[in-house]
């Protein structure tokens, strides 16, 4: 082997490894965002399913409506706190996960006409599970807020 070519394989390996690591990070980031979106969809569906426990919700007003909406929101928070979308610093206990989620995410239960709509919004930038890589500006290709909606007939 020529002395001038010694170490070329190490340099080529470094370039290829950098590309592979960036590709792996992109795939893992996409997977985490997809998982988070699925967790939000499941929580919204759980909330809409919980509305079926209140057949009187269509005609409910005042305290009855507030109680039903509170129960539906509680089901959504329980579903979200069971998933792995909370950063490690806030996920020691289920109570800590739920407290962080209630401060960060939002749940809206609306009853227009004959349907009930459960909307769950989660600011993904506040609950990022993978570390930020300075080489990649993920704000260009990742959503800032993930939203899911489920509708149930009353």
> What string of pLDDT tens digits covers the 154 residues of the chain?
567 777 888 889 999 998 898 889 889 888 989 999 999 999 999 999 998 887 777 677 778 888 888 999 999 999 999 998 888 888 888 889 999 999 999 999 988 778 889 999 999 887 777 777 776 666 677 788 999 999 988 7
Give the distance from CA 135 to its chain's centroid. Answer: 24
Distance CA(22)–CA(139), nearest Å, equals: 16
Q: What is the pLDDT of residue 139?
A: 67
Distance CA(110)–CA(92), nearest Å, equals: 32
Mention every residue, 6+ apart, whose C-beta is less than 8 A from residue 41: 148, 150
CB atoms within 10 A of CB 125: 13
Contact 154, 115 (CB under 8 A): yes
Distance CA(43)–CA(90), nearest Å, equals: 19
């Amino acid at each position: 082997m020529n002395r001038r070519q010694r170490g070329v394989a190490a340099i080529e390996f470094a370039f290829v490894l950098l590309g592979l690591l960036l590709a792996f990070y992109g795939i893992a980031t996409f997977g985490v965002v997809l998982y988070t979106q699925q967790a939000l969809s499941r929580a919204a569906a759980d909330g809409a399913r919980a509305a079926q426990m209140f057949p009187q919700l269509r005609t409910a007003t005042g305290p009855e409506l507030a109680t039903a909406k509170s129960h539906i929101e509680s089901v959504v928070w329980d579903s979200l706190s069971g998933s792995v979308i909370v950063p490690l610093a806030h996920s020691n206990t289920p109570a800590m996960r739920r407290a962080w989620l209630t401060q960060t995410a939002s749940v809206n239960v609306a009853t227009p006409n004959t349907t009930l709509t459960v909307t769950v919004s989660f600011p993904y930038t506040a609950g990022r599970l993978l570390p930020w890589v300075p080489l990649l500006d993920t704000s260009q290709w990742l959503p800032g807020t993930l939203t899911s909606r489920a509708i149930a007939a009353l």
